[in-house]
Amino acid sequence: MIEELEVDYLNGGSDQEKEKLAYVVVFVLTSFLVGLRGEYTSKIFLGETKDFLDRKESHMKHKHVILSLIRRFKGDNYKSYNLVAVTTKSNSDLQIDSWLRRVLDWKDKINIVRIFYL
């Protein structure tokens, strides 16, 4: 399925369609690779995740991407973050880093990477 979505993205239509497709794929990959459920899937803090992804790309020996997940327990007045390491290539050849980079690039274009939650 992800391979077909990759083809759709590369051959794709409008920028808006590509952007939506990239969000959907990151949602699916983070849910599967991290084992997230429910509301946590959509709570990736892209600003911190971008910093970790940039570091990973400048040190290619790292085979993981760090996702910064926002969590808030009932009754808490503050947000905290969980850092989760995700392999860049799973045993089933799923790769999250290229899709994360696409989402980050879309958000960079409109200058809201630092505050955006997926």
The pLDDT, as a whole number, for residue 58 is 72
Q: How far apart are alpha carbons 44 and 30 in whole angstroms?
A: 9
Residue 75, domain extent: 2-115
Cβ pair 40, 71 in contact under 8 A: yes
Q: Return the percentage of the chain with pLDDT > 70, whole number.
A: 77
Q: How many separate domains does the chain show?
A: 1
User: Cα 4 to chain center, whole Å?
Assistant: 19
Tokens of 1: 């399925």
Distance CA(92)–CA(11), nearest Å, equals: 23
**Tens of pLDDT along 17-68?**
888 888 888 888 888 887 766 655 567 777 777 777 777 777 666 678 888 8
